[in-house]
Structure 1
Amino acid sequence: MITMPDLLAVFGINNGTLDTVVKLLVLFVVLIWLALVYYTWADARRRISDPVLIGTATVAALVLPFAGTIIYMVVRPPEYLDDVRERELEMQAAEARLLQSGVLLCPHCEYQVQKDFLRCPSCLRKLRDQCTGCAKPLDPEWRICPYCETEIPGRTPRRRRRRRADEAEHDHERPAADLS
């Protein structure tokens, strides 16, 4: 069996001091390798949400000393999960502020429009219809014009006819049919 001093003797190291230096150097390299494995695992947890990918990156750093961490650093996502969440929350907050401030955007080209525009000045698409009675802009969801009560053709549902009160009274006065 070959021992460590014999192995070092192959490289021509017979001095105890040099032997200690080489052992410390090997220990240092192993510690750096383990630190890189831990770094890969911790960084992957902050950047990747899939636990399988986190494990794969960690195993690659463990199995391929130094190269696994370098490969991970090349293919890792560019930003942290917390940064992605924060950016999405900021975008939602900005959209909420826009809605509260009354700023409207064209649904087709996202150009800023006002609530009384019938067409978008940028893409020329129709935004609203014009009331036939008072010529004010109508919201597409409205069934009647709220300004002049003009019914909007094609959107106003037919009203159900109510039975008159006297017809209802006759129904109560009628005897029940004899089922025997």
Structure 2
Amino acid sequence: MLAVFGIDSDGLNLAVNLLLLFLVVVYLSLVYWTYADARRRIDDAMLVGCAVVAAIIFPFVGVIVYMIVRPPEYLEDVRERELEMQAAEARLHQLSYLACPHCSYEVKEDWLRCPSCTRKLRDPCSNCAKPLDPEWRLCPYCEAEVAGASTSRRRRRRGGSGDQSTSERTAVDS
């Protein structure tokens, strides 16, 4: 049997050989772990290769250096967070931004007229003077009936949902 480090004792030589085998297995495992972890955290193939080469050339130290400088998040988590941010921005943009239908100027929900083109956006309630949507039949603020609200549009919308038969809708529309 080959004597490592000049050790002549068979038992001690076996222990040293097993220790060296263990160190080689741990070394190869760390190189593979570096490769797998770098692929999940780094988008650039060149940087993944550099991390693996550092782990191969500098045993154990290369892996420790990689663990210090690696990105803190997985690519999947970064992409998911970016999608959530885009969705939140879209919801916020949709809720807080209204545009004038005539000139596309940004208007607020409670404005009666557009400050840019001066066109009428909404009518005020006759009872509480809050702005009303043209399709509302009653004021949601004070529950007053809205004079001159269009009802034909509502009947079509209600009828299309399946709560009335075709003959009933024809009778209501005529």
* TM-score category (smaller protein): 0.5 to 0.7
2:120 aligned counterpart, secondary structure: coil
Q: CA deviation at 1:136?
A: 2.8
1:174 equivalent in structure 2: none
Equivalences for 1:20-169 in 2 at 5 Å?
Answer: 20-100=14-94, 102-104=95-97, 115=108, 136-138=113-115, 144-147=117-120
Q: CA deviation at 1:116?
A: 5.8
| Larger helix fraction of residues | 2
Aligned-residue Cα RMSD (Å) equals 2.8
Moved over 3 A (4+): none
Number of residue pairs aligned between Structure 1 and Structure 2: 114
CA distance in 1, matches of 2:74, 2:80: 10
Contact 1:116 1:137 in 2 (8 A): no
1:176 equivalent in structure 2: none
Letter in 2 for 1:76: R
- Higher Rg: 1
1:130 equivalent in structure 2: none
Q: CA deviation at 1:64?
A: 0.4
TM-score (norm 1): 0.55
CA distance in 2, matches of 1:60, 1:78: 19
Q: CA deviation at 1:16?
A: 1.0
2:72 aligned counterpart, secondary structure: coil
Identity, % of aligned pairs? 52
TM-score (norm 2): 0.57
